[in-house]
Amino acid sequence: IKGWMGRADQTTKVRAMFVTPKQVSEVVGRHKEVVKARLVVAGETGNDQMTLKCEVREPSAGLAEAIVASIRDVTKLRGEVELVAPGSLPNDGKVIDDTRKYT
């Protein structure tokens, strides 16, 4: 059992709130321009930062701001959005990538 330390799924805690892959899918589902997305959680202890990287075919004016509003509505947390070209996100099945270092 010692090998199972931490969570087995991709749910992560950001600023004392849980964020799930289902919530990320809900945000993406609200914006048809988004082909694929990955939520990257970074930062130092007590200073968590969420960035939703979105692969977009043809970004419309105000798309990033609309996605930011959806993130806030769905997760109740502030997050940033980075629009990236299609095919630039890894195809490894991850929806949430927690890059924080715990020491």
Q: List, in order of start, the domains of the chain with CATH numbers.
A: 12-98 (3.30.300.30)
What's the pTM? 0.86
For 31-49, b/e burial (b = at least 16 CB within 10 A) is: bebbebbbbbbeeeeeebb
Q: Residue 93: exposed, middle, or buried by beta-carbon count in 10 A (0-12, 13-18, 19+)? A: exposed
C-alpha to C-alpha distance for 86 and 56, rounded to whole angstroms: 6
Beta bridge partners of 39: 52, 96
Rounded average pLDDT over 14-36: 94
| pLDDT one-digit tens code per residue, 32-72 | 999 999 999 998 767 889 999 999 988 889 999 999 999 99
pLDDT of residue 59: 86
